[in-house]
């Protein structure tokens, strides 16, 4: 096998071998969010017309799972390789930095989509979902997973120990996902917080993904898609530049 498919197979096998931790656990977490929030707020909150709060919540939980797990895959894989010392065995073969980038991002996308698809498959038994525009669902799922896969790669390159990855996840990824409209519409916020939400790229991923289910959103889906696409381009360029320079990798 050549370098690219071999490394991709290794990355896929890495998270699939511990699928109880990498796939099943996030699905259980999302299901608990659904049960707790839908039970507590189901009769009090209604965002879209003819859409219950539980129906509103599910696409956000699916997309949140996609984003968090795509980031976790690339960042944890790279930092594990750096700390264990086996990164050298991936840098020595004639694998270009573009292939290296492609492997980590594709593997992250696959894990994110696997978790998101599993969350959707479980929650559909509890909530009656519609699918107004499947193409938008697929577009935002793929691009969102790609964005977080690239961001995880940047974080993995920058970090030198697990604590730094954990800090990045707890102080950057987690707040951005929770404040992106997963559990609420930004129109329920004061004007200042609505403006702040528009600075959060995660908001556009969640909002555009939800549009694919119900045909309703806080922002036009084309505008959201443009923001997500630009985010992916910028993060990809940053990751490729770091890989090409060997920053914190070839030491």
Please tell me the distance from the alpha carbon of residue 55 to that of residue 50, in angstroms, as a whole number. 10
Kindly give, in sequence order, each residue whose CB lies less than 8 Å from that of residue 219, ignoring residues fewer than 6 positions away: 198, 203, 204, 207, 208
Please tell me the distance from the alpha carbon of residue 157 to that of residue 79, in angstroms, as a whole number. 7
- If you search the block for the tokens 């698809």, which residue do you land on? 117
Kindly give, in sequence order, each residue whose CB lies less than 8 Å from that of residue 225, ignoring residues fewer than 6 positions away: 136, 139, 140, 143, 204, 208
**Averaged pLDDT score across all residues of the chain:** 90
Write down the pLDDT at residue 128: 85
Nearest to 129 by CA among 137, 224, 208, 69: 137
- If you search the block for the tokens 């555009």, which residue do you land on? 208
Average pLDDT over residues 78-86: 90
Is it the case that residue 1 has pLDDT exceeding 60?
A: no
- If you search the block for the tokens 């964005």, which residue do you land on? 147
Using a pLDDT cut of 90, give the percent of the chain over it.
65
**pLDDT tens profile 191-226:** 888 888 899 999 999 999 999 998 888 899 999 999
Is it the case that residue 235 has pLDDT exceeding 90?
A: yes
Q: pTM of the predicted model, to two decimals?
A: 0.93
For residue 251, give the 3-state DSSP assignment: coil
DSSP code per residue over 2-69: -HHHHHHHHHHHHHHTTHIIIIIHHHHHHHHHHHHHHHHHTTT---STT--HHHHHHHHHHHHHHHHH
Kindly give, in sequence order, each residue whose CB lies less than 8 Å from that of residue 192, ignoring residues fewer than 6 positions away: none
**pLDDT tens profile 21-43:** 999 999 999 999 888 877 766 56
CB 119, CB 110: distance < 8 Å: no
Q: Residues 191-196: contacts with CB within 8 Å, 24+ apart?
A: none
């Amino acid at each position: 096998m050549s370098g690219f498919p071999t490394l991709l197979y290794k990355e896929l096998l890495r998270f699939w071998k511990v699928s109880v931790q990498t796939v099943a656990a996030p699905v259980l977490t999302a299901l608990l969010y659904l049960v707790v929030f839908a039970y507590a707020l189901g009769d009090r909150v209604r965002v879209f017309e003819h859409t219950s709060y539980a129906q509103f919540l599910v696409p956000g939980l699916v997309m949140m799972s996609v984003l968090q797990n795509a980031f976790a895959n690339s960042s944890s894989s790279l930092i594990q390789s750096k700390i264990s010392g086996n990164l050298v065995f991936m840098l020595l073969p004639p694998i270009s930095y573009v292939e290296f980038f492609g492997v980590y991002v594709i593997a992250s996308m696959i894990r994110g989509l696997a978790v998101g698809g599993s969350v959707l498959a479980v929650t559909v038994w509890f909530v009656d979902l519609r699918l107004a525009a499947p193409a938008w669902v697929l577009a935002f799922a793929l691009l969102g997973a790609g964005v977080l896969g690239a961001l995880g790669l940047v974080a993995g390159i920058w970090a030198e120990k697990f604590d730094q990855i954990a800090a990045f996840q707890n102080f950057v990824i987690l707040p951005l996902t929770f404040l992106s409209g997963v559990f609420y519409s930004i129109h329920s916020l004061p004007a200042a917080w609505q403006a702040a939400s528009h600075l959060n790229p995660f908001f556009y991923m969640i909002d555009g993904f939800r549009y694919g289910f119900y045909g309703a959103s806080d922002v036009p889906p084309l505008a959201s898609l443009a923001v997500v696409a630009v985010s992916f381009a910028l993060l990809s360029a940053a990751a490729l530049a770091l890989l090409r320079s060997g920053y914190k990798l070839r030491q």
